[in-house]
A and B are shown apart, each in its own frame.
Chain A
Amino acid sequence: MTWRRRAATSEQAQRAGEDFSTVVRAGDIVLLEGPLGAGKTTFVQGVARGLGVTERVTSPTFTVVRQHACHGHPTISTLHHADVYRIHHLDEVVDLALGELVEERGVALVEWGELAASVFGDDVLRLSIAVDDDDVRIITATTTKEDRREALDAWSST
């Protein structure tokens, strides 16, 4: 199943991320894909806001993964924001142990996640951000997780 949402400005992209925070649950891994400048980090900033992250969320490219505490969220306590842009070997993505980290009331958002999709298997949420000719972002969500249909229907109809 796929769901779609448009964002004409970076504020709207952040809002789409914020709304997406009601779709994710503890233990989720979300793979984000989209070309350079599509707005992956912007979207994650919105998700972080929705999850109760109060500190600034900046690009994790340099340190590969950053952890942010989620304040006041009932079930999620840590957002793991990763970027596999600079990683060359899949083994190194395995070494990040994101699958284990999210077991502790965590959620992982992985930028350039499609490069390492095979590491994470099918039980993930995938988000792809495309840019059309008018600079509008088309955000497409896909997942095999049956229990997210309702939340994604609500997310895409906003």
Chain B
Amino acid sequence: MTTILGIETSCDDTAAAVVDDTLSVRSSVIESSIDEHRDFGGVVPELAGRAHLRTISPVVERALVRAGLDPLRPEIDGVAVTSGPGLIGSLLVGLSAAKAYAFAWGVPFVGVNHLEGHLFAPLLEKPDLAWPVLTILVSGGHSMLILHESPGVHRILGETIDDAAGEAYDKVARWLGLGYPGGPAIDRLAQDGNDKGLALPVSMTGPDFDLSFSGLKTAVVRATEKHPEVSIEDVAASFQRAVCEQLLRKARRVLDDYEVAGIAVAGGVAANSTLRAQVSALAQERDLECHLPSLTMCTDNAAMIAAAGLFRLRTDGASSWSLSADPNWSLAALS
């Protein structure tokens, strides 16, 4: 059996996990540096880098111990680490640590694309899922619709032409005076709001699969200036409805054009309750498998990096020791 240690530090979470080649998660540890960011309304890049430096060793050690391994001489067969995309300072901490562990233990290491990691997350809960899968990947840094045809074979069908969905959530939340991260705060308020309380335009009505959230963010700013009487709950609900409507409309269009067996959500915005409910309803309507990974598997974690790393190690072999972090590593470069 092949067992691999995964490490993920691309943004504000330090994570380590041990996964074996049956895609069984033997341990998964996530330490968030997010509390340090609440005052600043967003991930503060260098601050995240420094937090990773403090947490990386204890997090890896905890992951190994929880997997029943000796943290000094673990019986593992490789180390997988996110080497992009992400914040350069944060990525470097994980990458350097992964190289050091792999070198010390005499095992290969492999650099993993963070977005491909997200694509592998559904496999951790259902290793025998039906292919192809349409993945709606929505996070603070990315928003894309991806056709995942078979493990590691994927195609970006559409992506944001401006802001990421999670970025729009964070910026609207900051505008409304809510904390960071913006997603959970808006989602919570939206539960008590009227989603037609604030009139917002429908964006990206074109025939392609591309997305856009910048205009929506601007529309919220302008509309709330003009209508200060609309409650914050209604604003949150209306914004959330507009985000989900766009994603679902584009997803439906993909399902009309492509033969898929399942639909999955990934990324931080995939924790959104409205999005999950609507994707689940869509899957039922089209008779598709629905993959709504648990919240810890949707958001950044190292188990998904280990899963993608197992695949890449098997198909492409180990990465070079000179591999450097690539903050803009495109998923398209892999296919």
Question: Which A positions have Cβ atoms within 8 angstroms of B?
Answer: 10, 35-37, 39, 41-42, 56, 58-59, 61-64, 66-67, 85-89, 91-92, 95, 131, 135
Contact = CB atoms under 8 A, between A and B. Distances in A.
Nearest to B212: A58
Contacts, number: 75
15 contacts: A36-B175, A37-B217, A37-B218, A37-B220, A37-B222, A39-B218, A41-B163, A42-B162, A59-B162, A59-B164, A59-B167, A61-B167, A86-B42, A87-B44, A92-B44
Given A63-B85, A66-B328, A92-B46, A56 B161 contact: yes
B18 interface: no
Q: How many B residues touch the partner, as a band?
A: 20 to 34
Given A86-B40, A87-B44, A64 B160 contact: no
A64 B175 contact: no
Nearest to A37: B218
Given A61-B167, A135-B222, A88 B47 contact: yes
B46 A89 contact: yes
Interface in B40-68: 40-47
Most buried by B among A62, A66, A86, A95: A62
A35 B220 CA distance: 13
B171 interface: yes
Contact of A92 (B41, B45, B327): B45
A62 B44 contact: no
Nearest to B220: A37
B205 to A, nearest CB: 15
A58 B221 contact: no
B94 interface: no
Interface string B164-182: 1001000100110000000
Nearest to B219: A37
B138 to A, nearest CB: 13
Contacts of B328: 63, 66-67
